[in-house]
Structure 1
Amino acid sequence: MMTFSILIANYNNGKFFKNCYDSIISQKYTNWEVIILDDCSTDNSLELINGLIKDDSRFKLFENEVNCGVGITKAKLIELANGEICGFVDPDDGISPDALLSSITVFTKSKDVVLTYSKFVKCDDNLQPLEIPKLAMQVPNGDPYFFNCPVHIVHFVSFRKDVYLQTEKMNTIMRIAEDQDLYLKMYEKGKVKFINENNYLYRTHSGGISQNENRPKSREYFAQVIFNAMKRRKLTTINGKKVPETYTNSKEIYNLLDYQTSIFYRFKKKLKILIQTAFS
């Protein structure tokens, strides 16, 4: 029975943690641990989190000595994890009761799957459902020209730790798009599987890193992630266009992927996914 390590990087989100905590202890799959790493919060996060987890040995709370940022913090969380399967949950979000069980079921059945993901529910400030975005869907496997752009691999993502250790690991420099960087690195190591369930509750509030002034920066960071993937895969041209030797700007990278928005390309992609799904 595999252990699932739920990884939580916290910075000043202790006030929202009660919902996250409740969603975790409501899991149908029971063989899990929670690793929390606080990145030098300046609010009362530690007091609030400690008050909830108390003496529950399934929860382990650690603290960074200095504020490190999300890249380093998430990398440390994976190092601290004891489980075979890992998945990040933000302290201001939550997961459905089936989230862990659905992922573990896929990993148990399909040894070649290295990462799973699901649909997510966009929620209000009180974690009450607002809508289910149509972003998430199965993507083609084994395609060197897949860069998750537009984004289809979203929450709730879980992955095999032993396979992660075979990659270049988490980019500790990044403060935005570090998750997309991780997904592409895992994609290169095996199959990814879409779970058609609403397994992640995503809270929208003014403090969310991807919902405020950082949004324009996300596109720039994501372009760097895509460029790095191109270099890892040793791609020199994409659809007849030369891949630049060094990264200069995001527009140059996104222009390389313009062809992927064509009707013909999208039809071929859907056909490939149908064939792969039928024989999986």
Structure 2
Amino acid sequence: MKKISVLIAHYNNGKFFEDCYLSLIHQTFTNWEAIIVDDASTDNSLEIIKSIIKDDARFRLYKNPENKGCGFTKRICMEYATGDICGFLDPDDALFPKALEKSIEKFNDSNIIAAYTKMLMCDENLSPQYVYCGTKQICNDLYFFNCPIQVAHFFTFRKDIYFKTQGINPVLKRAVDQDLYLKILELGRIAYIDEVLYKYRLHSAGISQQSTKQSAKDSFASIIFEAMQRRGIEKIKNRKVPENYTNPEEIYDLIHYQTGLLYRVETKFRLFFYHTNILILLFLECTSTQTFNLTLY
């Protein structure tokens, strides 16, 4: 049975951690570990976390000697992971009970290297507000940059694939997850789980709240530019990719067409024909063995 490592990069979120903890211990899939790396919290978070996890061997708690930032801490989480599959869970968020079970199922297909789900946006008390509508099934190709965001939480991935990438950028403070997604997606197929399995808490201290949105936007543009360089992309829609990153709007302008109606319609057609081809291949495989049974539901 595959094992999943739930990775938690923590900083000053002890007051929210109990919900995160409870969501893990109530998972229907039981072969998991939780790696918690504290980024030198300045409050009493460590004491709170220790009192909650107690002597539960499934939880392993580490601490950075000094504050190093999100990218560094998430990279350290990966170094401690022992599972076959990994996924990041923020300490102020929570999972639905079947999140690990539904995610791990997708990796029964050896061609799948990552999976992602829908997420529920919640208030500070983790009370439901609305389902994030941006999450959709994607066409993963050379020009997919997750902008606008379609791949989000709960994102799980094969550990062996991660170590074939450059890994999480340790100097990043913002858009760390987006950097990880783009690197992983360059190496294989991703599975979309059309279910809400992640609870995302909206609160004033959250890293992605209004006060840091511009910083995250700038970081995301830089990450997209780096992806273009890794992939050897010199032109997009006959427009030249700049040799150096100078202006975030210059990068966003290059891929603005991906927000348009024509592109969305094209994507739907591509997905339709992709699934049609998969069904045809499965049909041919079944008929070639002369043992298939057709059942209509």
Query: TM-score when scaled to structure 2?
Result: 0.92
Could you tell me which amino acid in structure 1 is paired with residue 243 of structure 2?
E
Contact 1:239–1:259 at 8 Å: present in 2 too? no
Could you tell me which amino acid in structure 1 is paired with residue 129 of structure 2?
L
2:118 alignment partner in structure 1? 119
- In the alignment, structure 1 residue 16 sits paired with structure 2 residue 16: yes
Could you tell me which amino acid in structure 1 is paired with residue 133 of structure 2?
K
- In the alignment, structure 1 residue 190 sits paired with structure 2 residue 188: yes
2:202 alignment partner in structure 1? 204
- In the alignment, structure 1 residue 3 sits paired with structure 2 residue 3: yes
2:105 alignment partner in structure 1? 105
2:131 alignment partner in structure 1? 132
**Matches of 1:79 and 1:92, distance apart in 2:** 22
2:171 alignment partner in structure 1? 173
- Once the two structures are superposed, what CA deviation does each residue of 1:72-102 show, in whole Å capped at 9, x if it has no partner? 0000001100001000001110000010001
**Matches of 1:78 and 1:230, distance apart in 2:** 25
Does the residue aligned with 2:107 lie in a helix, a strand or coil? Answer: helix
1:37 alignment partner in structure 2? 37
**Matches of 1:79 and 1:59, distance apart in 2:** 15
- Once the two structures are superposed, what CA deviation does each residue of 1:204-230 show, in whole Å capped at 9, x if it has no partner? 110001013111111111101110000
2:282 alignment partner in structure 1? none
What is the root-mean-square deviation in Å for CA atoms of aligned residues? 0.9
Displacement of 1:278 in angstroms is 3.5
2:241 alignment partner in structure 1? 243
Identity %: 49
- In the alignment, structure 1 residue 55 sits paired with structure 2 residue 55: yes
Could you tell me which amino acid in structure 2 is paired with residue 30 of structure 1?
T
Q: How does 1:235-274 map to 2 (within 5 A)?
A: 235-274=233-272
| Pairing partner for 2:148 from 150, 157, 167 | 150
Displacement of 1:279 in angstroms is 3.7
Does the residue aligned with 1:73 lie in a helix, a strand or coil? Answer: helix
- Once the two structures are superposed, what CA deviation does each residue of 1:10-65 show, in whole Å capped at 9, x if it has no partner? 10001110000000000000000000000000111111111111111000000101
- Once the two structures are superposed, what CA deviation does each residue of 1:98-133 show, in whole Å capped at 9, x if it has no partner? 10001100011x111111111000011111111112
Could you tell me which amino acid in structure 1 is paired with residue 132 of structure 2?
P
Could you tell me which amino acid in structure 2 is paired with residue 2 of structure 1?
K
**Matches of 1:27 and 1:260, distance apart in 2:** 37
For this pair of structures, how many residues does the alignment match? Answer: 278
Does the residue aligned with 1:214 lie in a helix, a strand or coil? Answer: helix
Could you tell me which amino acid in structure 1 is paired with residue 224 of structure 2?
I
Does the residue aligned with 2:166 lie in a helix, a strand or coil? Answer: coil
Does the residue aligned with 2:257 lie in a helix, a strand or coil? Answer: helix
Contact 1:140–1:276 at 8 Å: present in 2 too? no
Could you tell me which amino acid in structure 2 is paired with residue 118 of structure 1?
T
Displacement of 1:135 in angstroms is 0.8
**Matches of 1:19 and 1:278, distance apart in 2:** 41
Could you tell me which amino acid in structure 2 is paired with residue 116 of structure 1?
A
1:227 alignment partner in structure 2? 225
Does the residue aligned with 2:126 lie in a helix, a strand or coil? Answer: coil
2:80 alignment partner in structure 1? 80
Does the residue aligned with 2:62 lie in a helix, a strand or coil? Answer: strand
2:64 alignment partner in structure 1? 64
1:164 alignment partner in structure 2? 162
**Matches of 1:269 and 1:48, distance apart in 2:** 46
**Matches of 1:88 and 1:97, distance apart in 2:** 16
Query: TM-score when scaled to structure 1?
Result: 0.97
Displacement of 1:265 in angstroms is 2.0
**Matches of 2:218 and 2:275, distance apart in 1:** 33
**Matches of 1:65 and 1:278, distance apart in 2:** 53
- Once the two structures are superposed, what CA deviation does each residue of 1:245-276 show, in whole Å capped at 9, x if it has no partner? 00011111011112223332221111112222
**Matches of 2:34 and 2:19, distance apart in 1:** 15
